[in-house]
Homo-oligomer: A and B are copies of this chain.
Amino acid sequence: MIKAGIVGSTGYAGAELVRLLLGHPDVEIAWLGSKSYIDKRYSDVFRNMFTLVDDVCLEDNIEKMAEQVDVIFTATPQGYCSSIINENVLRKVKVIDLSADYRIKDVETYQHWYGLVHQSPQFIEESVYGLCEINREEIRTSRLVANPGCFPTCSILSLYPLVKEGVVDTKSIIINACSGTSGAGRGAKVDNLFCEVNENIKAYGVASHRHTPEIEEQLSCAAGKEIILNFTPHLAPMNRGILVTAYANLKETISENETREIYKKYYDKESFVRLLPEGVNPETRWVEGSNFADVNFKIDGRTNRIIAMGAIDNLVKGAAGQAVQNMNIVFGLREETGLMMPPVFP
């Protein structure tokens, strides 16, 4: 059994890790770390876990944790993981960081968009961006996996084949996205109160959201040249789900079928990326609670644009599920282990 520790187990992403690891046949949760709920019974914080998790929350002490576990998940605010990690820890355990600290290779870019001084830039180079479908091989041998952001996961998976194959004009990419409210975390803020979110939709972080450089870096890497794009997230009145609607100009006329072959080339053997049938748009309800990313596209002959679309559950494929998928890869397990639960509908 793989022993797992979670730093920040009492946020929404941390709690989803607990849910998924409870159903994983090869993992045992050995340390439930928390900042706010130390010594409190975990099932008093998340009552869905009553009778399933008997443990109390322990401190978020990565050093001690590293003595007792095989893998550490850090589900903490930006800047925290990079401030506590060190060579000693990395020698003992595998680390899968759900924060943004190691996602961006260019430390200046990270520091600019996040407004933070990176506390351990020496580990950036060796860390691997854990978008499993794309970096599977590098992940296999990594000791520090940077688990992708929720919006980047959905955006990149939606656009990757088009960018990689050079189908679209990389200067023209615009990504419009909607997220459920669990993406905003469990902190007590007026803006996230029920009455403020319910019956409302809004854009936020327009032209300034921190997931922008992460998407740009990964797509640039796929394209082999620098990509600058627009990314606009919106907050939707629902618990879970991310929907991406992305636009790009086609470099040349391409048929529906040719495009479909391009998507198939990348996703046909993937268990978690589902290329939907022609004419069927991704919807968040069809992936809720699961690790699936549903993608599809539509070509608009009138404007010569392609609309690439994707849907994920932000807490699963957009966070905890992909973290478990990364763990499976790192530990040489079947990638689907513990992750094949069907989406919950309605």
Chain A residues packing against B (C-beta within 8 Å) = 12, 15, 18-19, 22-23, 46-52, 174, 176, 178, 180-182, 186-190, 192-204, 206-207, 228-230, 232, 234, 236-241, 243, 245, 247, 274, 276, 280-290, 294, 298-300, 302-303, 305, 307, 309, 311, 341-346
Separation of A47 and B284 alpha carbons in the complex (Å): 11
A273 to chain B, nearest CB (A): 10
A117 to B341: give the CA distance in the assembly, Å: 41
Instruction: Give which listed residue, B50, B192, B232, B281, contacts A276 with CB less than 8 A.
Output: B50
Specify which chain B residues have a CB less than 8 angstroms from the CB of A196 in the assembled complex: 194, 285, 346
**Additional A-B contacts beyond A50-B274, A50-B294, A230-B303 (7; CB < 8 A):** A46-B345, A182-B195, A188-B190, A193-B193, A196-B346, A206-B307, A237-B238
Which residues on the B side are within 8 Å of A280 (C-beta)? 47
Q: Report A345 CB to chain B, min CB distance, Å.
A: 5
Q: Are A239 and B201 in contact (CB under 8 A)?
A: no
The answer, among B46, B48, B239, B287, for a CB contact under 8 Å with A198, is B239
Most central of A197, A241, A276, A287 by chain B CB within 10 Å? A197
CA distance A274 to B287 in the complex (A): 29
Say how far A134's CB is from chain B's closest CB, in angstroms.
Answer: 20
CB-CB under 8 A for A290 and B48, given A194-B197, A201-B238, A307-B232: yes
Name A207's closest neighbour in chain B (CB-CB).
B300
Given that A229-B303, A289-B344 are contacting pairs, would A193 and B188 also be in contact in the complex, using a CB cutoff of 8 Å?
yes
Residues on the B chain within 8 Å of A229, using CB: 303
Chain B CB within 10 Å, residue with most, of A188, A239, A282: A239
- Tell me the minimal C-beta distance from A186 to chain B in angstroms: 6
Q: How far is the CB of A313 from chain B (nearest CB, A)?
A: 10
How far apart are the CA atoms of A309 and B207 in the complex, in Å? 13
Rounded to whole Å, the gap between the CB of A216 and the closest CB of chain B is 9
Contact A239 B303 (CB under 8 A): no
Q: Complex: how many Å from CA A335 to CA B329?
A: 33
**In the bound complex, do residue A194 and residue B181 qualify as a contact, i.e. CB atoms below 8 Å apart?**
yes
Residue among A51, A200, A276 with max Cβ neighbours from chain B (10 Å): A200
Whether A178 lies near B234 (C-beta < 8 A) is yes
Q: Give complex CA distance A207, B300 in Å.
A: 6
- B contact residues around A307 at 8 Å (CB): 203, 206-207, 230, 232
Inside 8 A of A198's CB, which chain B residues have their CB? 181, 194, 198, 237-239, 346
- What are 26 residue pairs bridging A and B, where the CB atoms are less than 8 Å apart in the complex? A12-B346, A15-B345, A18-B342, A47-B280, A48-B287, A48-B344, A50-B276, A50-B286, A181-B198, A182-B195, A192-B193, A198-B346, A199-B240, A199-B288, A201-B238, A201-B241, A202-B281, A202-B311, A203-B309, A204-B281, A206-B281, A207-B299, A229-B303, A230-B247, A230-B300, A344-B344
Closest 6 CB pairs of A and B: A48-B343, A200-B285, A195-B346, A207-B300, A202-B283, A194-B197
Residues on B with beta carbons closer than 8 Å to the beta carbon of A343:
48
| Contacting residues, chain B, for A300 (C-beta < 8 A) | 206-207, 230
